Amino acid sequence: RASIPDIDDDSIDYMHGMETPVHHNEHVNMMFTNDTLDSNPSLVSPGYSMSSDSDEENDSTHNLADEFDEYKDKNLEEMRTKVEGTVTNSDDMMSQALTRALMDDDDSVKDPNELTWGGSGDSTEIEASVLCEMNDWLKKREGASLDQRREFMQETLNRMVASVRYGIIQPEDASRTIHGCAAMLGLQLAEDIPETALIVTGMRKMVK
């Protein structure tokens, strides 16, 4: 004879359509789950902060800034300020010239003859040499486009920045020379030339 299984009161209530009873084991599991959530806040909860990732990002940014600071040069920064204040839209050209001077290992950049512009290194002599080179270039390339003039200006600026970096010429003298070059090339100036420069050409280089 088959035995009839025992049916407890909770099961009888369920069969009559009442809500599913909560057994003891389920109650313990729910309490465990709630405790776990309380002790481990959700990643999307308002109070959660990814402080470790933020700290690492801040450290990386700080280290990168320190590396750039190592390349800063007081004289070059002074020249940048003066040139950008006198020649319109010269920011990009100055940035390129500074990057080349600080990062380029090309030996031609360190050539003494290039740094002194073929002279003794006197600032007045350098200024005269640069302006004469500018005048010669303009005579050979009459009607040069704006892009061509800006390109030659970039080459001149690269050399002048290198001369400042190696202490051949002071930033004030260098920026004044670049200001004059920009005027000769017909580039837009942010500030007018304070003094008139007179260039005399066709003279003999050597007088006996």
The per-residue pLDDT for range 120-166, each reduced to its tens digit, is: 889 999 999 999 999 999 999 999 999 999 999 999 999 999 999 99
pLDDT for 54 equals 57
Query: How would DSSP label each residue in the chain?
Result: -PPPPP--HHHHHHHTTPPPP--HHHHHHHHHHHHHHHHS--TTSTT---HHHHHHHHHHHHHHHHHHHHT--HHHHHHHHHHHHHBTT-HHHHHHHHHHHHH---GGGG-HHHHTTTS-S-HHHHHHHHHHHHHHHHHHTTT--HHHHHHHHHHHHHHHHHHHHTTSS-HHHHHHHHHHHHHHTTPPBSS--SS------S--S---
pLDDT surpassing 80 at residue 201:
no
Q: For residue 199, give both structure tokens.
A: 């260039």
pLDDT for 20 equals 47
Q: What is the mean pLDDT of residues 44-58?
A: 53
Work out the pLDDT band at 204, boundaries 50, 70, 90.
Answer: low
Specify which of 19-28, 60-69, 71-80, 137-146 reaches the highest per-range mean pLDDT.
137-146
Contact 129, 117 (CB under 8 A): yes
Beta bridge partners of 189: 87
The pLDDT mean for the chain works out to: 75
Residues 6+ apart with CB under 8 A from 57: none
Residue reference for tokens 């190592």: 70
Q: Which amino acid appears at position 127 of this protein? A: E
Cα separation, 122 vs 179, in Å, equals 18
